[in-house]
A = this chain, B = another copy of it.
Amino acid sequence: MTPPLWFDDLQVGMAFRTPGATLTDDAIIRFAMEWDYQTFHADAHAARQSLFGGLVASGLHTLVMSFRLYNEASIVRGTALAGTGIENLRWLRPARPGDTLSVEVTITGLRPSSRPDRGHVRQRFETRDQNGELLLRFEVTSIVARDPCGSPVVGSADQAPS
């Protein structure tokens, strides 16, 4: 297992791909029954009359599944302190029973915090099916810890006037 990276180790453009997981009709229906009941997510027969022509996963399901896969491969697992937001989320194509989802994650922004022990990270998630079709994309902002043994930051004793 790769050790988690600190904020200081990250660079814009770094990217990684998660492993995959297959959506079953059972998982789609159970998620819908718990969190997002819509006939086209829960009722295979009624779904045929919907805009989708058949059962499709809740967009919330593909979203949380994307994070679940992200956690498997995350380069900041253990150093990520908190999520702060999501921007520009688009559900572009529905996910159907039997589809296998995986996520390509790219670091798109890095900004040190005013607090010396952390920084703000922006990552783009692109969730695709087994054919490479883009189902879902969004950007996540989060707070990642800085290396407590790393280079001194501005304002540290090393740089104070003597």
Interface positions of A (Cβ within 8 A of B): 34-38, 50-52, 59-60, 63-65, 67-68, 71, 80-91, 138, 143
Contacts and interface: CB of A to CB of B under 8 A. Distances in A.
A68 B65 CA distance: 17
B91 A84 contact: yes
A36 B68 contact: yes
Given A36-B64, A67-B35, A67-B36, A91 B85 contact: yes
B83 A91 contact: yes
Contacts of A60: 63-64, 67
A88 B34 CA distance: 25
Contact of A71 (B37, B50, B64, B67): B37
A77 to B, nearest CB: 9
